Structures are given as structure tokens and as C-alpha cells.
Amino acid sequence: MEEMLASTRRFHELPREEKMAFYSRDVTRPVRYVSNGRLLDRAAPADWRDTLAFHVPDGGLDQQSVPPVCREVATEYLKQTLKLKNKLAELLSDAAGLNRDHLSTIKCMESQTMACHYYPPCPQPHLTIGSSKHTDPFCLTILLQDHNQGLQVRNHDRWVDMPKSAQGALVVNVGDFLQLITNDKFKSVEHRVVAQSSTTRSSVACFFGPGSENKYRLYGPAKELVLLGGDHVEPVYREVHLVEFLDYFKSNGSPLSHFKLS
């Protein structure tokens, strides 16, 4: 984990020309470097951060497309987080009152995207934000942070600082799509990263959602949760596929209220 953070830093601290070989705003590219990635998506403040993003295709990443400074570590880290995700899928299925294999059977966490973020010191942190407020749209996020603070979560109408991560600790976030599948049993949480004047912060977020072969598959609240034991619980959301869900997210932020059944 320390090595993953160190190689994230190593990439972002390369000379500009070397990083620019990976620069692209084309979200279909498996490996791309971008500055202020959400700038064109919606009317939000510019994010004071750079990101190296990996979208692992079905057949796995082509090693040659990964920057040499982080090739070995990133490949291993992707493998380990995939294993952890499989374990978490079992635990979360169980905790939601579903069969242990439910979330893996419905294939809602098969795709893996990794964002290696770098937040440089900001001369006027009160005028901007490291990462603007959002909920993660997929099912699950596994987040690794260095020892610099900045991440905040929304608790009612207050922003609360996440305590510094203990060494070796990961933060696991429920995303909007999992909230929909669990019919609000699990809640996605709004979060943001504040800009800092003197520290450089690195973090690595791995996101899991339905894979490309299931991007048009309809997902809705798990039937087992809305008809549990004969006690009828109303489904909160209508069925939706990932493409429609993400389209809404890109222009408007969290899609949950939009897909609510009235």
C-alpha cells in the first residue's frame, strides 16, 4: 500500500513532457492522465488535483500501456484490491440480508477502475476545492490515502474531517448503485477533499460496478429485500441500467432521487 502511494507520487512528479504522453480526456482509454478530470462534466468548481486513471478492460490491462514508474506496483495493487472486493461483496451481501453470493451473482461489481490522485499545494485554498462534493456513482469504492488530511464526509448539514488514516487502513465507500440495489439499506455518502496550502496529498481510489457486458442490464432493488419474509417493503427505486444512471450522474451529480419511484 505504501508502495502504491509512493508510485502515484512518482508518476505525478515526473517532468511534464513524460506525463503528457499519457494525457487524454478520452474516457474510453484504459490508461490516461488528466488534470481536473471533471472540468467538462458539470457546473462544479474546478478540482485542484491531477489523476492517473486505469479502466481495466475485460481481458486485463495491457502492461505496455501502464507508465513504467508504477507498472509493477499498480498491477499488483489492482490484483489485491480485486480479491478484497470479492471478500467485501460476500460480507456486504450478508450484512444486507441477502445470500452471501448475491452481489457476485448479479455481477454488479465486476468492472474495476482505479484513480491515482495527486493534490498539489494550493496558494489560495479558500478559493477552490481539491475534489468537489459528490457521491461515488458505482457500487463500491476502496480508498487508500496518504497521511495528509483533506477528505471530509457530509453528516446532515456539516462537513466532518475524516480522521487521518492509520497506516495500512483503507476507507470503503458504498456508492449510489449499491444504495439502489439494497433499496436504501446501505447509504452512499457525500464527500469532498479540501485543498491545502502547504501539503501535497496522494490517494488511490478503486471503483467497482457492473462490467461492460452488463452495462445495459437492468438493476433495481433486490427482490429478496422488497419481499422479505412476506413483509412487503416497497421498492424505493425503479430499475435502471448503468449507462442511463451514469449519464444522469455526469450532468447532475447523484442520480438516486431521479430514479425514485414516487
Ligand X SMILES: O=C(O)CCC(=O)C(=O)O
Provide the binding-site residues for Fe ion, judged by CB under 5 A. 136
What span, in angstroms and rounded, lies between the C-alpha atoms of 212 and 142? 20
In 3D, which of 184, 21, 172, 183 has the Cα closest to residue 89? 172
Closest CB 231 distance from ligand X, rounded Å? 36
149 contacts 159 by C-beta, under 8 angstroms: no
- Can residue 143 be called a binding residue for ligand X (CB under 6 A)? yes
User: Given the complex with Fe ion, which of 133 and 241 has the nearer CB atom?
Assistant: 133
43 contacts: CB under 8 Å, gap ≥ 6: none
User: Given the complex with ligand X, which of 81 and 203 has the nearer CB atom?
Assistant: 203
- Can residue 117 be called a binding residue for ligand X (CB under 6 A)? yes
237 contacts 259 by C-beta, under 8 angstroms: yes
Other CB atoms closer than 10 Å to residue 228's CB: what's the count?
14
- Can residue 191 be called a binding residue for ligand X (CB under 6 A)? yes
Task: State which of residues 34, 74, 96, 151 lies at the interface with ligand X (CB under 6 A).
Answer: 151
64 contacts: CB under 8 Å, gap ≥ 6: none
Closest CB 44 distance from ligand X, rounded Å? 13
Indicate the SS3 state at residue 217: coil
Task: State which of residues 85, 203, 225, 256 lies at the interface with ligand X (CB under 6 A).
Answer: 203
Report how far Cα 121 is from the mean position of its chain's Cα atoms: 23
- Can residue 102 be called a binding residue for ligand X (CB under 6 A)? no
- Can residue 254 be called a binding residue for ligand X (CB under 6 A)? no
User: Given the complex with ligand X, which of 69 and 204 has the nearer CB atom?
Assistant: 204
Closest CB 192 distance from Fe ion, rounded Å? 8
31 contacts 22 by C-beta, under 8 angstroms: yes
User: Given the complex with ligand X, which of 39 and 227 has the nearer CB atom?
Assistant: 39
Residues that bind ligand X (CB under 6 A): 115, 117, 131, 136, 143, 145, 151, 191, 193, 203, 205
